[in-house]
């Protein structure tokens, strides 16, 4: 992703990506031609003024009172975020995990294109998942730089996480979505890691259900950024 983040808050970048995903769904189902910032705010559970402020970063793509053409706004967000129609990614995990991810996260439906699969298990080497041959994680540094891959999805066993992150960094990958549940994480310098900590997320959800006054997730199911929670 080549999004210009120098003067853009991290939370704004996340929401812009969220708008892009949502509009992508509208484009695919061809269910709506125009959308207003108010409608976008209501449907994603975000304040309207926040949506307006976020979209101001991408320039003028709509008319006040008339809203936005869905496909035009989608394309503008895609260009601003530096995304392609099929953003290249690599996935790392056992062959069984890779197959499961292909079911719950079908790449063709979400605008990403897997270009390489790796497993920490030697017995997985040579197997095919989605017509892509699985290679061993030790081959990650050999990833073809011409594929222009900057993001990886990692779901290895905990023992392989740090080794995998280091090798991905050697291969030029600078962003990782980490699904492995672990708490003590040493992030390689220069690498952005979004970590889904499922056990902690479950406990946090239980806390929200039982503790009065607990911070609630918004309508998108996403907890507010830590700094926003601390300011409440």
The arithmetic mean of pLDDT across residues 221-230, rounded, is 42
168: confidence class by pLDDT, cuts 50, 70, 90:
very high
58: confidence class by pLDDT, cuts 50, 70, 90:
confident
Question: 153 near 175, Cβ under 8 Å?
Answer: no
pLDDT at 62: 66
Domains of the chain: 10-81 (1.10.10.10), 87-196 (3.40.50.720), 205-230 (no CATH)
Q: Which of 203, 206, 211 is nearest to 183 (CA)?
A: 203
pLDDT at 109: 67
pLDDT at 23 over 50: yes
Q: Which has the higher per-residue pLDDT, 43 or 81? A: 43
Q: Count of alpha carbons within 13 Å of 230, Cβ hemisphere only?
A: 3
pLDDT at 226: 37
Q: Token pair 């994480």 is at which residue?
A: 185
Contacts of 128 by beta carbon, 8 Å cutoff, 6+ apart = 134
Q: Which of 124, 131, 120, 228 is nearest to 164 (CA)?
A: 120
> What does the H/E/C string look like for 23-55?
HHHHHHHCCCCEECHHHHHHHHCCCHHHHHHHH
* Alpha-carbon distances of 136 from 91, 151, 156, 228, rounded to whole Å: 12, 18, 12, 41
Round to whole Å and give the CA distance between 137 and 171.
11
The arithmetic mean of pLDDT across residues 172-189, rounded, is 89
The arithmetic mean of pLDDT across residues 32-37, rounded, is 87
Q: Which has the higher per-residue pLDDT, 71 or 202? A: 71
């Amino acid at each position: 992703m080549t999004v210009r983040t120098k003067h853009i808050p991290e939370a704004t970048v996340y929401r812009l990506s969220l708008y892009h995903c949502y509009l992508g769904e509208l484009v695919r189902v061809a269910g709506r031609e125009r959308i207003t910032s108010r409608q976008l705010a209501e449907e994603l559970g975000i304040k309207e003024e926040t949506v307006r402020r976020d979209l101001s970063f991408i320039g003028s793509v709509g008319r006040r009172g008339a809203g936005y053409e869905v496909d035009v706004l989608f394309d503008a967000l895609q260009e601003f975020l530096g995304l392609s129609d099929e953003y290249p990614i690599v996935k790392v995990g056992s062959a069984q995990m890779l197959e499961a991810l292909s079911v719950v996260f079908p790449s063709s439906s979400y605008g990403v294109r897997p270009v390489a699969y790796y497993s920490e298990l030697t017995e997985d080497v040579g197997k095919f998942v989605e017509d892509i041959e699985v290679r061993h994680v030790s081959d990650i540094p050999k990833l073809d730089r011409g594929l222009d891959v900057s993001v990886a999805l990692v779901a290895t066993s905990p023992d392989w996480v740090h080794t995998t992150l280091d090798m991905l960094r050697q291969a030029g990958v600078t962003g990782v979505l980490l699904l492995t549940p672990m708490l003590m994480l040493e992030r390689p310098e220069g690498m952005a890691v979004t970590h889904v900590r499922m056990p902690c997320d479950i406990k946090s959800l239980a806390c929200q259900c039982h503790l009065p006054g607990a911070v609630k997730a918004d309508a998108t199911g996403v907890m507010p950024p830590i700094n926003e929670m601390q300011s409440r």
